[in-house]
Amino acid sequence: MASTDPQEPVQIQDSPLPKVLLLKKPPAFFIIGEQPFTSTKFHYLKAYESPLPLDQFLATHALSIQAILSSAIAPLTVDILQLLPAVRVVVTTSAGLNHLDLPECRRRGITIANTGSIYSADVADLAVGLLIDVFRKISAGNRYVKQGLWPIRGDYPLGSKLAGKRVGIVGLGNIGYEVAKRLEAFACCISYNSRKKKPFVSYPFYENVCELAANSDALIICCGLTDQTHHMINKEVLLALGKTGVIVNIGRGPIIDEKEMVRCLVEGEIAGAGLDVFENEPDVPKELFELDNVVLSPHCAVFTHESLKALSELVVGNLEAFFSNKPLLSEYVDE
Ligand SMILES: O=CC(=O)O
């Protein structure tokens, strides 16, 4: 009997249930509750447990794989998709879709189910947390106290007030909007840059990200990674943000030209950064470790106990809907 649990070993013999391909082993923390991600309506086919090379494994099962459970750690490339002509749906566990070849999926008529808004509140909380941490030096102060420096060096340097700050949000989708709502409650002045002006908000819109930076005390990167947004935050944007400006990134590392950002931080061209994502994860530029005005977290903005429970329900709901010929719960629609 093949496994219906994404962490349990799979047996290669056939099951009467439809197959959902898993290319890479999910992180252990995906195991929450009793039987997360499981269903009696389909079973998981775990490519990573097969002794066969991936292309042979996929060729063996090619005609029976109609669905893929995909994640940011397992890019779904043209090379893989062309080995799987029967695939009709890709359900992804990530908010970002940059690991999927979207044009190729579109060309093949593959429908994508994303994570909808299940992560938005958690990611927004972390973005605001990073911003407050940088302005008010929470992590740096924590180190100061724990290292016993307070009695020796005395009072800690002043931080900056959050209220009244001009915050520029890059990408006003679900997550960006949640960030904006939170920061409005902190009396910040919100403006934004997006592919298109959003009719449902009255925040000032900047078509040009450099102009947004020049008119902001902090930039929060909330957009997805695409060919258009790769290194969108470059030297020009960072210099426009300026010596008192702070950058927060909870989108994807490569949206910022990381080398330039590190240089700007080291040379004091910008005031600080709160970063959950990096260009070459899990490698983080060592220069950042030395800087008290930089707060780092290990790409964990989406993950809470609650968001993973919601993810498990959504993933199973989408896959069951697909195999029952019902509408997906969270179909991705490119705007
Ligand atoms: O970064 C995490 C995600 O895109 O879900």
| pLDDT tens digits, 145-189 | 999 999 999 999 999 999 999 999 999 999 999 999 999 999 999
Query: How far, in Å, is the centroid of ligand 1 from the Cα of 172?
Result: 16
Split at pLDDT 50, 70, 90, the class of 98 is: very high
* Token code pair at residue 330: 């969270």
Domains 19-115+305-324 and 120-296 are alike in CATH topology:
yes
User: CB of 72 closer than 6 A to ligand 1?
Assistant: yes
Answer whether residue 331 shows pLDDT above 80: yes
User: CB of 251 closer than 6 A to ligand 1?
Assistant: no
Note the pLDDT of residue 104: 96
Would you identify the CATH topology of the domain 19-115+305-324?
Rossmann fold (3.40.50)
Distance separating alpha carbons of residues 206 and 166, to the nearest angstrom: 13
Note the pLDDT of residue 334: 81
Domain boundaries defined on the chain: 19-115+305-324, 120-296
Residue 252 known to be catalytic: yes
Split at pLDDT 50, 70, 90, the class of 201 is: very high
CATH top-level class of 120-296:
alpha beta
Query: How far, in Å, is the centroid of ligand 1 from the Cα of 115?
Result: 9
Q: Are strands 272-275 and 218-221 parallel, antiparallel or unpaired?
A: unpaired
Residue 279 known to be catalytic: no
Note the pLDDT of residue 13: 46
Radius of gyration of the chain (CA): 22
Q: One-letter amino acid identity for 177?
A: Y
* Catalytic member of 104, 299, 313, 320: 299
Query: How far, in Å, is the centroid of ligand 1 from the Cα of 293?
Result: 25
Query: How far, in Å, is the centroid of ligand 1 from the Cα of 98?
Result: 10
Residue 299 known to be catalytic: yes
User: CB of 95 closer than 6 A to ligand 1?
Assistant: yes
- pLDDT tens for each residue of 269-321: 999 999 999 999 999 999 999 999 999 999 999 999 999 999 999 999 999 99
User: CB of 225 closer than 6 A to ligand 1?
Assistant: no
